[in-house]
Chains A and B, each alone.
Chain A
Amino acid sequence: MTNGKFFLGRQELLGLAILAALIFIVLPASIDIFRLNLIGKYLTYAFVAIGLVLCWGMGGILSLGQGVFFGIGGYCMAMFLKLESSTPEATKIQSTPGIPDFMDWNQITELPWFWVPFNSLAFTLIAIFVLPAFFAFIIGAAMFKRRVGGVYFAIITQAIAAILTILIIGQQGYTGGVNGITDLRTLLGWDIRTDSAKYVLYFLNGALLIGVLIACQFVLKSKLGRLLVAVRDKEDRVRFSGYDVANFKIFVFCFAAVLSAIGGAMFTLQVGFMSPSFVGIVPSIEMVIYCAVGGRLSIFGAVYGTLLVNWAKTTFSETFPELWLFGLGALFIAVVLVFPNGLSGLYRTNVAPAVDRWLGRSSTSAKPPLEDPQAAE
């Protein structure tokens, strides 16, 4: 039985330890701050990929719109930082000092009402959790209560990602338009552009990621985790066992949305800007690819998949900028055809039994749920 007294088994503790060692020791010790900052940026996508493991891998709900929630988190943080850097002194050359520069360029003379609360860091931090959950709840309730699922759900989430992008670009005066919200400088007076700040943010991001992994492990090891797999396998059976299936789907969709938003907020802090190019259809699908490459059934796999794909993206697009997109497409096809359970699937079949023996226990816990989640609905 996988369910011992504690929700972290030996395999999981080992996985956490290796990942923590990689993030906190190996990488900072071996690469410069520029590259480390890049890794930090990749790791913010890992939050999204982990959410997709729960939502898609376990629950069979494929969302092609996770960029929406990444964007909500990122924009919340960006709005706060932008307001902080738009003091009347810093913006005194504008026709309306004290408002973000792009508003001034768009002949807006007053801070819009929905920007006002983002003067408060406390409000911003709460919004990063509450807004995506609320938004996901609305979408989830509207879809899952009506039993919309599978491909239809994927298409609708994709449409929402497209709508949000168009909205952001169209409402340039309120959102910064296609350029996004740029020129972010300080967090409560602390300059986030310095090397030391980048180190601090990188470690904060890593710690949050480890925390999120532990939280996900808790969910997966609870009965709710097994229920998600059950819903993916035989939704009707779960329903006729006395469960309101829609509520569980809404929960996991909201949970994944909040994880994505945390990633988005950390992205803004580390990269220093937020734009609609991280919200729309293409980034959302790329995030699904990270998850698929890592293995949609493993939260650890999702992290490594994200790192690998992004590393490849950076390396190849530096050398062959035109070929990268083809490479990404080929990678996705290869994952689907050759190793459908991704890196973690390869790990589970080839490495995990040996690790289990080494840890001194039988290999009963390494049972890969192999059912195809795309067959949901």
Chain B
Amino acid sequence: MNTLGNNTDFLLSIENLSVSFDGFKAVNDLNLYVDENEIHVIIGPNGAGKTTVLDLICGRTRTTDGSIKFRNKELTEMKEHEIVREGVGRKFQNPSIYEDLSVFENLEISFPRGRNVFGALTFKRDDEVIARVNEIAEMVFLDELLDTQAALLSHGQKQWLEIGMLLIQDPELLMLDEPVAGMSVSERKQTAKLLNEITKGRSVLVVEHDMKFVEDIAHRVTVLHQGKILSEGSMAKVQADPKVIDVYLGH
């Protein structure tokens, strides 16, 4: 698995990545690669550094050492909004939506046009925007609720709305932090279906605890432990790895 070829083949390549907070190494010399059109899942016990890895990729946390290349472009020196504009979308663990705005307005704000001050002042809600919002809303099962204030959505619907807000940006790499946490069984199934659908033409990097869900969606799994990679490969292979069983899956 460590016979990694030319970096340029990967959409995202993380090499020798480290970050320490007051001497504590949350991520330690990490190497991680994401292929085109791949659903790559990161699992691991609490405190393994999973969310930190996503934070580092999207620029929320600054790296101490190492490199993160997206389409061979270094992300570690870029600002958050520049990374987004390169094509990296990030969903937060808790649904992070604009509660005071309607579902339509939530999606519209994420539409990738008019992103500077002047552009936002002169932004027109034209047919293209409306069509795209409707298309995405249908994908995330919210087409009936476009005029609803987002605060009134259920937890699962909020999660979908945020996924929709990312989809409308059409990112090449979509990062999801525990997308099914707090979802009902049926919502979970719908989300798995949704993820399998949206991965066409883009890569998805998921942090998830729910093993059943990971089995449903993952093309490749990376197990993190104490900021380092413990195991990597298909779900079946990872599940059979004695080291993984020992520290995480266990019992």
Residues of A within 8 A of B (CB): 1, 3, 219, 222-224, 226-227, 229-230, 232-234, 236-245, 247-248, 251, 364, 367, 369-371
Contact B117 A223 (CB under 8 A): no
Contact A237 B96 (CB under 8 A): yes
Contact A370 B100 (CB under 8 A): yes
Contact B105 A226 (CB under 8 A): yes
* A226: B residues at CB distance < 8 A: 101, 105, 108-109
Given known contacts A1-B147, A241-B165, what 7 new A-B pairs fall within 8 Å (CB)? A224-B117, A224-B121, A234-B96, A237-B96, A240-B89, A241-B109, A251-B117
Residue of A nearest to B168 (CB): A241
Query: Are A364 and B97 CB-contacts (below 8 A) given A222-B120, A238-B109, A242-B81?
Result: no
Query: Are A1 and B104 CB-contacts (below 8 A) given A240-B90, A247-B117?
Result: yes
* A238: B residues at CB distance < 8 A: 109
List 23 A-B pairs, Cβ < 8 Å: A1-B102, A222-B123, A226-B105, A229-B98, A230-B101, A233-B97, A236-B60, A236-B96, A237-B97, A237-B98, A237-B162, A239-B81, A240-B60, A240-B81, A240-B92, A241-B169, A242-B112, A242-B115, A242-B169, A244-B81, A245-B81, A364-B147, A369-B100
A226 to B98, CA, bound (A): 10
Which of A222, A226, A367 has the most chain B CB atoms closer than 10 A to its own CB? A226
- The one of B85, B92, B109, B147 in contact with A227, judged by C-beta atoms closer than 8 angstroms, is B109
Query: Are A248 and B120 CB-contacts (below 8 A) given A3-B125, A242-B84, A370-B100?
Result: yes
Residues of B within 8 A of A (CB): 58, 60, 79-81, 84-85, 89-90, 92, 96-102, 104-105, 108-110, 112, 114-117, 120-123, 125, 147, 149, 162, 165, 169
Query: Are A229 and B92 CB-contacts (below 8 A) given A244-B81, A248-B120?
Result: no
* A244: B residues at CB distance < 8 A: 79, 81, 115-116
Q: Min CB distance, B110 to chain A, in Å? A: 5
The main secondary structure of chain A at its interface with chain B is: helix
Which of B58, B81, B115 has the most chain A CB atoms closer than 10 A to its own CB? B81
Contact A234 B84 (CB under 8 A): no
* A233: B residues at CB distance < 8 A: 97-101
Residue of A nearest to B91 (CB): A240
A175 to B194, CA, bound (A): 67
Contact A239 B117 (CB under 8 A): no
* B84: A residues at CB distance < 8 A: 239-242
Which of B96, B98, B115, B116 has the most chain A CB atoms closer than 10 A to its own CB? B98
- Which 3 residue pairs are nearest across A and B when measured between Cβ atoms? A369-B100, A223-B123, A242-B84
Contact A371 B100 (CB under 8 A): yes
A234 to B110, CA, bound (A): 13
* A240: B residues at CB distance < 8 A: 58, 60, 80-81, 84, 89-90, 92
* A239: B residues at CB distance < 8 A: 80-81, 84
Query: Are A227 and B81 CB-contacts (below 8 A) given A233-B98, A234-B97, A369-B100?
Result: no
Q: Min CB distance, A257 to chain B, in Å? A: 15
* B115: A residues at CB distance < 8 A: 242-244
Contact A223 B114 (CB under 8 A): yes
* B104: A residues at CB distance < 8 A: 1
A241 to B98, CA, bound (A): 12
A234 to B109, CA, bound (A): 12
A227 to B114, CA, bound (A): 11
Contact A223 B81 (CB under 8 A): no
Contact A367 B149 (CB under 8 A): yes
Residue of A nearest to B125 (CB): A3
Contact A227 B120 (CB under 8 A): yes
A1 to B100, CA, bound (A): 14
* B121: A residues at CB distance < 8 A: 219, 222-224
A234 to B99, CA, bound (A): 9
Residue of A nearest to B88 (CB): A240
* B85: A residues at CB distance < 8 A: 242
Residue of B nearest to A236 (CB): B96
Query: Are A241 and B120 CB-contacts (below 8 A) given A1-B147, A229-B101?
Result: no
Query: Are A222 and B122 CB-contacts (below 8 A) given A1-B104, A234-B96?
Result: yes
